[in-house]
Amino acid sequence: MYDKAPYIAVSSSARDCYSGWERIGLALHAAVARRLAAGGPQTVCVECYPGVAIQEARERLEAILQPARVISTERLFLSAAELNRRMEPLLTDDPVFGVMNTIGIEDYFDPEKLEAAEREVEEFRNGIALVIGVGAALVAPRPDLLIYADLARWEIQRRQRRGEIGNLGAGNVDDLPSLKYKRAFFLDWRAADRLKQTLLAEIDFVLDTNDPRLPKMISGEAMRGGLRMAVRGPFRVVPFFDPGPWGGHWMEEVCDLPRDVPNYAWCFDCVPEENSLLLGFGDARVEIPSLNLVYTQPRELLGDNIYEHFGAEFPIRFDLLDTVGGGNLSLQVHPLTQYVQEKFGLFYTQDESYYLLDAKDGACVYLGTKENIDPAAMLCDLKAAQQVGGNFNADLYVNRWPAKMHDHFLIPAGTVHCSGRDSMVLEISATPYIFTFKLWDWGRVGLDGRPRPIHLERGAANIQWERTTEWVRRSLINRIEPLSSGDGWHEERTGLHEFEFIETRRHWFTGAVPHDTCGTVNVLNLVQGRQAVVESPTGAFQPFAVNYAETFIVPAQVGPYTIRPCGFAEGTQCATIKAFVRPQR
């Protein structure tokens, strides 16, 4: 019953969505016809997210609009060699990590070429001028028609892996997908999102380019209306699934996934920086990045307290890690806050936890170092295993804890950890998930046949060696604290650790459980039970059904809501795990 394509119903009519280039063309013709009939010039600006198939879009739009002038932004960029020289300090020579930064799309342009193109648009006097590409809005800052061609990050990654695209202005289409992803993460997406935030309120049309066979377009107001609708009640982002060298097969069954990949390691089901939203118009679906919601409705979604401390950034992440029939995750550690501030320009790090949705016989979690070990010996053995391709005896140095369904392991940054095989983990963490330092990968290579990067030196700088067996047992495993109860339900605090800014609560219930966002966004997963329904005591939103293992978001502005079993789950005990940000002083 897992819903792989959840959507927000915006309109009952598919006519509000223009599917295919023919209908898109008719809509755009109508939009420009009145001004052209009056004899005035028309500037059509098509701002594109990096990764959009710009050449095809340009050819289609030229055929539709018959412009008298076409300006494509790609010819205005700095040379690839010059861009690479300027970006090198931000990318570093590390294969995975760069530095968070304040780069903007304007930094990709040759200033003289940009100024000349702006002047060309300003002086245009007759017919239609089409300005298209990444940064088109810089060339035509006051267009008569603003179209935003958008693309989901997951689709960008697929195009990178297929060798279809490189990075913005870099001329690197043949680079390894991992390097293209790194550059997009630290440079292209940061810059494009900064520009996008300034445009979302002004966009006339949004072009969904995720399916090149069937592009779709909606009005900017339809998108903004859909996003306003999203924060009135619970919703889900679109999950995506990815194989990995340690991946398993639990999600294949539970989520009814295709068997066309060797395994499924990850399900990203609440990572708004990476996930998409589907907006429904009758039977038509328009896919947009869920970051558009964070950018346009930050206070309504996140709440004032989170917005004031984190800005328009979603700080909570839920994802699924499947090792059932697979292997151990890499032994790893997350950096301390001071380290990410100094080295990467972040102001918070990835504290996390493992909640066991399922666990087979022999399942375990590696967590914390053993008592009285020699840190230098452990690091020496790790280094030797990497250098000569030998083995690292993790059990000699790291605690291996038995794991069963509904166990909750807390993992503050600096703690050595990994999930063992035959586990189904709901990972609850802070958002900057790319910053993981692998210490040992069990002698494996990635699905591409290449060794996976190990960051032993960085890891060694962050391991908190005092987090040994007894401290871990006392502080990080099943810190269950009963809190409250009512008719057919009871609530427990399960974490996270006091070092971490996220709080988690578990509710067991056979009847309706009262919840309240208390002005901060809630993220939940149905960890037991076939189905539950989320309802508003005042009828403020339509009842929202969720299925087992689905993650859903309750926006801050919702306030009171209830959750109860429904459908096949009526009369049975269900459970949710809920995460929220503790009040920030």
Residues counted in the chain: 585
pTM of the shown model: 0.96
Give the up-direction half-sphere exposure of residue 422: CA atoms within 13 A in the CB hemisphere.
Answer: 9
Classify residue 392 by its DSSP letter: -
For tokens 């006519």, name the residue: 15
> What CA–CA distance (Å, rounded) separates 418 from 398?
10
Residue 185 tokens read as 């993460």
- Residue 389, pLDDT score: 65
> What CA–CA distance (Å, rounded) separates 254 from 531?
13
Instruction: Please return the burial class of 49, using the count of CB atoms within 10 Å of its CB with bins 0-12, 13-18 and 19+.
Output: buried
pLDDT in tens, the chain (585 residues): 899 999 999 999 988 999 999 999 999 999 988 777 777 779 999 999 999 999 999 999 999 999 999 999 999 999 999 999 999 999 999 999 999 999 999 999 999 999 999 999 999 988 899 999 999 999 999 999 999 999 999 999 999 999 999 999 999 999 999 999 999 999 999 999 999 999 999 999 999 999 999 999 999 999 999 999 999 999 999 999 999 999 999 999 999 999 999 999 999 999 988 999 999 999 999 999 999 999 999 999 999 999 999 999 999 999 999 999 999 999 999 999 999 999 998 888 889 999 999 999 999 999 999 999 999 999 999 999 987 667 999 999 999 999 999 999 999 999 999 999 999 999 999 876 678 999 999 989 887 888 888 999 999 999 999 999 999 999 999 999 999 999 999 999 998 778 789 999 999 999 999 999 999 999 999 999 999 999 999 999 999 999 999 999 999 999 999 999 999 899 999 999 999 999 876
Domain architecture of the chain: domains with CATH: 8-229 (3.40.50.300), 241-475 (2.60.120.10), 481-581 (2.60.120.10)
Q: CB–CB of 295/217 below 8 Å?
A: no
Residue 319 tokens read as 């994802």
* One-letter identity of residue 148: Y
For tokens 């960051």, name the residue: 455
Classify residue 556 by its DSSP letter: G
Task: Output the CA–CA distances (angstroms, integers) from residue 32 to 16, 37, 490, in the order listed.
Answer: 18, 9, 60
Asked if residue 496 has a cis previous peptide bond (ω within 30° of 0), the answer is: yes
Q: What b-and-e string marks burial along 352-365, b requiring 16 or more CB atoms within 10 Å of the CB?
A: bbbbbbbbbeebbb
Indicate the pairing of strand 18-19 with strand 352-359.
Answer: unpaired
Q: CB–CB of 36/145 below 8 Å?
A: no
* One-letter identity of residue 114: L
Strand partners, 535: 562
- Residue 390, pLDDT score: 78
Q: CB–CB of 84/35 below 8 Å?
A: no
Per-residue pLDDT of 161-198, as tens digits, reads 999 999 999 999 999 999 999 999 999 999 999 999 99
Sign of the torsion angle spanned by Cα atoms 535, 541, 543, 545: negative
Query: What residue ranges in 91-219 does DSSP mark as E strands?
Result: 128-133, 145-150, 205-208, 216-219
CA dihedral 76, 81, 85, 88 (to 10 degrees): 100
